[in-house]
A = this chain, B = another copy of it.
Amino acid sequence: MNRLKAIIESNDTGLGRVFDFGLQALILLSLVTFSLETLPDLSDAVRRWLYYAEVATVAIFTVEYILRFVVADKKSAFVFSFFGIVDLAAILPFYVASGIDLRSIRAVRLLRLLRAFKLVRYSKAVSRIHRALLIAREELILFGFVSLMLLYFAAVGIYYFENEAQPDSFSSVFTSFWWAVCTLTTVGYGDVYPITTGGRVFTFIVLMIGLGLVSVPAGLMASALSKARELDE
């Protein structure tokens, strides 16, 4: 029993490493088959094989879940832990027959890969990121809130400038908000853009204010992280 526990929960032993590596390969494989299933015009034969692969994957994941449950010291702690919930969510949609499409939940299997970061040095990096978030929390919340306000103001402003000229693209504050999101994040798909002079001048002003606003948090987080690393040393 103790040996089984060592194999499953840690990767110090050779078998433990094989167990971990094998499962991670299987997770990746199951994500690939999930993605393949969404391809249109698949032949029935391929669909059947993908279904068999899914059945096999769920079977192995179920065995793994039961094993993890058996070897866990505190059963309920495992079931309600982050990985316990993720592990269950990765297999449950297969067993539950329901009207709504639950297949997309299978994408949570991706989260299972996070187990690969249980190594000590990544735990340290995660705790540094956590500390950096604490250091810069107030500023991040403030900048986030002011960014949201700017998005809303930009949406209202462009609505009044462009609504008359482009009643389809800027039909309401909601569609204008979509423009604001595309513009202030600098994605700029080009599906909606101002054509009136007023709207363009307004866009210019909003961008001058907004660019700084949107990119400061990332720089803030970066300098908080280097601060957290200094405290770590």
Cα(A189)–Cα(B142), bound, Å: 29
Interface residue A85 (Cβ < 8 Å from any Cβ of B):
no
Interface residue A191 (Cβ < 8 Å from any Cβ of B):
yes
Q: Which of A176-198 contact B (CB under 8 A)?
A: 178, 181-183, 185-191, 193, 195, 197
Hey, which chain B residues are within 8 Å of A200, CB to CB?
A: 178, 181
Taking the nearest CB of chain B, how far is it from the CB of A53, in angstroms? Answer: 16
Hey, which chain B residues are within 8 Å of A211, CB to CB?
A: 185, 214, 218
Q: Interface-forming stretch among A10-18, A33-41, A44-52, A74-82?
A: A33-41
Choose one: B117, B174, B207; the contact of A181 (CB below 8 Å): B207
Cα(A101)–Cα(B159), bound, Å: 13
Taking the nearest CB of chain B, how far is it from the CB of A13, in angstroms? Answer: 24
Extra contacts besides A34-B173, A186-B186 (17): CB < 8 Å: A31-B152, A104-B160, A107-B153, A110-B152, A111-B149, A124-B138, A135-B229, A178-B200, A185-B207, A187-B187, A212-B217, A212-B218, A215-B218, A216-B221, A219-B221, A222-B222, A223-B226
